[in-house]
Structure 1
Amino acid sequence: MALSRTAYVNLLRAQAGYHEGRDPSGNWNNQQKFSPAVPGLEWSQGQAWCHVFVSWGADELDARDVIPITASCATGVSWWKKRGRWTDYPVLGAPFYMGSAGQDHVGVVYKYDADSIWTIEGNTNNNGSYQGDGVYHRVRPRRGAGSPYGYGVPDFTEETVSADPNLGGTKAATVPTATPGDEVNSTPPTQEKPMTPAEIQAVADAVWNYQLPNLRTDGTQDGTKKSAYWWLIWQDVFQAQLLAAINEAALTPDDVRQALADGTLKVQLTVKAA
């Protein structure tokens, strides 16, 4: 069955903020809604579920032949390679695989540029753990430490968009956000304008006194708080990404611009961080 890149990515992104269950002691337990919903993967309930999430999206859209239906990242990598649909370069809308052989973790790319990939991932957390607690938007480096092992190349209904020179060599691209009534197959990938220094300063001014929970390295709160401005100046490379990470708000630069223009940035952060 045919699979639209835009439909697939936006279905997965719509799950951001979903969390797995907890055991009687309050610990995350890998019990989630995706395993029981995918025929053949019901057995994976209670196990690591990052690839189940990726497979669930394809199954929901009746495209089990376009994305590997498996709970195993290693099996997923093998599936792509056997079909000759594998690359070392980002592919828009495609699964990316982490680990020395791609065995550790998987998510889906919804945006990339020369340095980074923007992703939607299951079984991760704000710190990018391979054993997390829910569905999150993340930003990961394209190269070096913490970068993917490689990428599958799905046969979407839209033309393949990839940084791979053999697949068009598109330097940067974004999957558009679908709205009700849109023909999701018809909108081409768009590129997002970076934030200007003045806009970055406006964000800092808007959230100067907004207090956010301080997180330990394992993602748990340590009981203290720091202002959002402290977070902004601590990591000033991807300002909108940082806001997304600390608030689970997934705000893009365009979202921030609109919120600043509307005067609603504080309100958005307060609601989404609550």
Structure 2
Amino acid sequence: MISTAKKYVGYKEGSGNSNRFSSAMGRPAEEWCADFTSAVAAESGNGSLFPNTASCGVAKSWFQSRGRLSVYPAVGAQVFYGDSSSKYGPGGSHTEIVYAYDSTYIYTVGGNTNDNGSSTGDGVYRRKVSRHSAWTDSYGYPAYPEGITCADPSWKGRAGVTYFGQEANESDIRQGGGSVPAPGGGSAVVIDGKSYGPGSTGKHITELGQLLVAAGCGRYKEGPGPVWSSADTESMRAYQLKIGDTGSADGIPGPKQLAKLRADYGKLHTYAIKSGDTLSGLAVKFKTTVTALMKANPQIKDAGLIHIGDVITLP
């Protein structure tokens, strides 16, 4: 589905909205964003998994009636745009196909659109859109035989679902159907006599989180802390993707991954607070700034309040 959509990037419509996608679906020249999705679905062999309609509102309702509409993105989903001020209603103004997402944006391919911010579409483009905008309304989840990779926490544990709440792309699509466990949902692993994964606790979990923050992969709103959480899973997965281990990016560390993380971001990148230390003094000592130290250590809420013995990450 996604590869078929991408091959049309650069296509431009003719005069009066004439385009190959509406024609392929047996419809006249018209606003064709939904026609693009329907035509791509048909061409890629996924026609029965998407609504055959020129209306974004009808397409949204089609997914909703099947219990497959979400406010969270998914790889290969049909995204619907439009807020309550739109004359077509929420989700009724425009539609595109999602090929990736992260914590802030969705990455899409769409027809009858543009990449210059204009309200007038003229072709097929790749776009980067805020996933938290009021204009980004909802997502239809096609029932792909290989399953779906999504950010909807309520879909965790469903047959054929891979849950990645923060980011995912085409490399995360599982091959074959069946039940796919959520990242981190399996058993914890033991490395060097210490447990990592769901149910694990200890100082080593905090230290792992600090290393992940140092690696630029922290996904923590609070912490890191000594109890394994979903944020640890998301952070570890971000690191696995960063180093190219896409085939094992399940958010649970492997021995080689942990060894590399320690080697690259170990002792030289952390510091244990001593008596008399201040963040401003440490910023000077390590040639950085208080702001950078605070960003690398989200567990520090007050720049004037640090504790002896705490281990901080150095940016």
User: What TM-score does the superposition give when structure 2 sets the normalisation length?
Assistant: 0.50
1:33 to 16, 20, 27: 20
Point out 4+ residue stretches in structure 1 off by more than 3 angstroms.
128-131, 190-194
Specify the code of the residue in structure 2 equivalent to 1:9: I
Corresponding residue for residue 56 of structure 2: 73
Change (3 A) 1:30 1:82: same
Distance 1:21 1:176 in 2: 35
What is the 5 A alignment of 1:221-240?
none
Q: How far 1:175 sits from its partner (Å)?
A: 1.1
Corresponding residue for residue 138 of structure 2: 150
- Segments of structure 2 that go 5 or more residues without pairing to the other structure are 84-89, 157-162, 181-236, 244-315
Change (3 A) 1:55 1:128: farther
> With CA pairs under 8 Å and 6+ residues apart, which has the higher RCO, 1 or 2?
1
- Which structure has the greater CA radius of gyration? 2
Specify the code of the residue in structure 2 equivalent to 1:87: S
Corresponding residue for residue 114 of structure 1: 103
Question: SS at 1:173's partner residue?
Answer: coil
What is the 5 A alignment of 1:1-274?
8-22=1-15, 29-38=16-25, 42-43=26-27, 45-100=28-83, 101-129=90-118, 131-146=120-135, 148-168=136-156, 169-170=163-164, 171-176=166-171, 185=175, 193=242
Question: SS at 2:124's partner residue?
Answer: strand
Question: SS at 1:65's partner residue?
Answer: helix
Query: Cα deviations across residues 164-183 of structure 1 (Å, max 9, x unaligned)?
Result: 10223412111149xxxxxx
> Residue 113 of structure 1 contacts residue 172 of structure 1 at CA under 8 Å; is this kept in 2?
yes
Specify the code of the residue in structure 2 equivalent to 1:69: N
Distance 2:117 2:48 in 1: 28
Change (3 A) 1:115 1:105: same
Q: How far 1:130 sits from its partner (Å)?
A: 5.1
Distance 2:74 2:45 in 1: 21
Distance 1:84 1:176 in 2: 26
Query: Cα deviations across residues 128-165 of structure 1 (Å, max 9, x unaligned)?
Result: 5453000000000011354x100001111222211110
Query: Cα deviations across residues 189-225 of structure 1 (Å, max 9, x unaligned)?
Result: x97649xxxxxxxxxxxxxxxxxxxxxxxxxxxxxxx
State, as a whole percentage, how many aligned pairs show the same letter.
Answer: 36
Distance 1:173 1:37 in 2: 31
Q: For the aligned residues, what is the CA RMSD? A: 2.6
Query: Cα deviations across residues 203-248 of structure 1 (Å, max 9, x unaligned)?
Result: xxxxxxxxxxxxxxxxxxxxxxxxxxxxxxxxxxxxxxxxxxxxxx
Change (3 A) 1:129 1:123: farther
Question: SS at 1:149's partner residue?
Answer: strand
